[in-house]
Structure 1
């Protein structure tokens, strides 16, 4: 479990989430355009998958930190 200081100072940086979501939206628009032109989208789809994975990791970190914070609060009570 992370130290108390780490738990209490961690915050999810919304700009990271917004940037990844924006990049994902761009990729999806590019995929849609390439599909309409009947072009290969495999590279773009792989990039989109990486962005989705990165968003998932941010969510996992937030949940992990929230759980650790809850444990710390219980210990203090």
Structure 2
């Protein structure tokens, strides 16, 4: 909800408005998660349509998240 606030120009500012203890870290975590989920959505939608997807450099690839340990992954 803070992102919809007229003064939230960044994820850090949205986290600050929401009362996060460390708005810079929290805002960055939210930004990365939403980017990862967006990439996953794009890949799955393309798979359903039977199309190849060219993702930008640094984009997350399904099954190859940043964490290399199985305990670090959440679904």
Q: Which has the higher contact order (CA 8 A, sep 6+)?
A: 1
Task: Give the TM-score, by structure 2 length.
Answer: 0.43
Alignment TM-score, normalising by the size of structure 1: 0.42
**Which protein has the larger Cα radius of gyration, Structure 1 or Structure 2?**
1
